[in-house]
Amino acid sequence: MTENTQTYFLHIPKTAGTSLRSIVEEQFPKDHIAPFSYMHELADVVKRDKNELVNYTLFAGHMGHTLISLLPRAPRVITMIREPVNRTISRFKNLMRNRGRKSVGHERFLDPEATIEDFLSFPPTRRLVTNFQVRNIALDFDLTKTYHDDDGQEILPKQAKLLSYTRTDMSDDELLAKAKQRLASFDFVGITDRFAESMELLLATFGWTTTMDVPHLNALPDPALTEQTLSSETMAKIEVYTRLDAELYRFAAELFEQRYSAMFYQQ
């Protein structure tokens, strides 16, 4: 690693990023790791003095591409991409598991009988999965601005809330093209459903070692709700809402395969 190089783990929620993060953070002294992981915390730094960002070697968290746009030079970027139907199911399970926190602020999801169809029919929660991976990578936010929800109420500028309540003038084709271009420039792109191989490639890419077994943290097993148990109507809805993410996933899988093959089979 050259002097002054920074590294950023761009953590897209529900892509097994919690598991990967434990390995990434093991590589850095604790006092080199930025003590914030969320967009609203980054906004506080930006409003105070964004020059503070040069003090850290590693950033990790839910800050989308916006963090990259704020750094003085491009960091090494690490991310994971997940097949979008499985990510949608995982996002719904996570919401239901944490419903007591009222983090989404919508009473219907405090009901343990709420279904994934409810989740998809309600616009603010549907936006948590609608091409969410593409938008995480393609969009940047001005953290000096104030943002509002559908009712005009000011929102905390968390990445998920910003992506749920803001609009973009970019077309779908433009969003996808930008996401692909940026993803291809990242130093490491892993694939959630090839997690063990992704960890092999991660360690080889950066010359890292780990004392850990390959972890799989924050998993939410539930055999009653899988891709196989969804109705055809629900599957069709998810496929419509995640069309761009499906394209990005295919692109990421090809990119991963090329890099994995080059790393391990063409030496």
Interval 58-116: pLDDT, tens: 999 999 999 999 999 999 999 999 999 999 999 998 888 776 555 555 556 657 778 89
Rounded to an integer, the average pLDDT of 126-141 is: 95
pLDDT at residue 213 in the model = 72
Mean pLDDT of the chain: 89
- pLDDT-based confidence at residue 188 (cuts at 50, 70, 90): very high
Integer Rg of the chain from CA? 18
Q: Measure the N-to-C terminal CA separation of the chain; round to a whole number of Å.
A: 22
The pLDDT of residue 114: 83
- Name the CATH superfamily for 7-265: P-loop containing nucleotide triphosphate hydrolases (3.40.50.300)
* Helix or strand holding residue 258 (H, E): helix 243-265
User: How many Å apart are CA 68 and CA 73, to the nearest integer?
Assistant: 8
Place of tokens 């490639």: 201
Domain ranges of the chain: 7-265
Run of H or E residues at 58: strand 58-61
Provide the pLDDT confidence category of residue 222 given band limits of 50, 70 and 90: low
Distances (CA, A) of 85 to 22, 28, 68, 121, 133: 25, 34, 28, 16, 12
Q: What are phi and psi of 156, to 5 degrees?
A: -70, 130
Q: Is the pLDDT of residue 141 over 90?
A: yes
Most confident listed range (29-43, 107-121, 146-160, 208-222): 29-43
d(CA 64, CA 140): 8
pLDDT of residue 215: 54
C-alpha closest to that of 249 among 86, 42, 18: 86
pLDDT digits 0-9 by tens, 223-257 = 566 667 889 999 999 999 999 999 999 999 999 99
| 152-173 average pLDDT score | 92
Contact call for residues 100 and 48 (beta carbons, < 8 A)? no
- Comparing CA positions, the residue from 74, 106, 73, 81 lying closest to residue 13 is 81
pLDDT at 221 over 80: no
Any alpha helices (H) in 51-171, and if so which ranges?
A: 66-70, 84-97, 116-121, 123-126, 132-138, 159-165
pLDDT at 19: 80
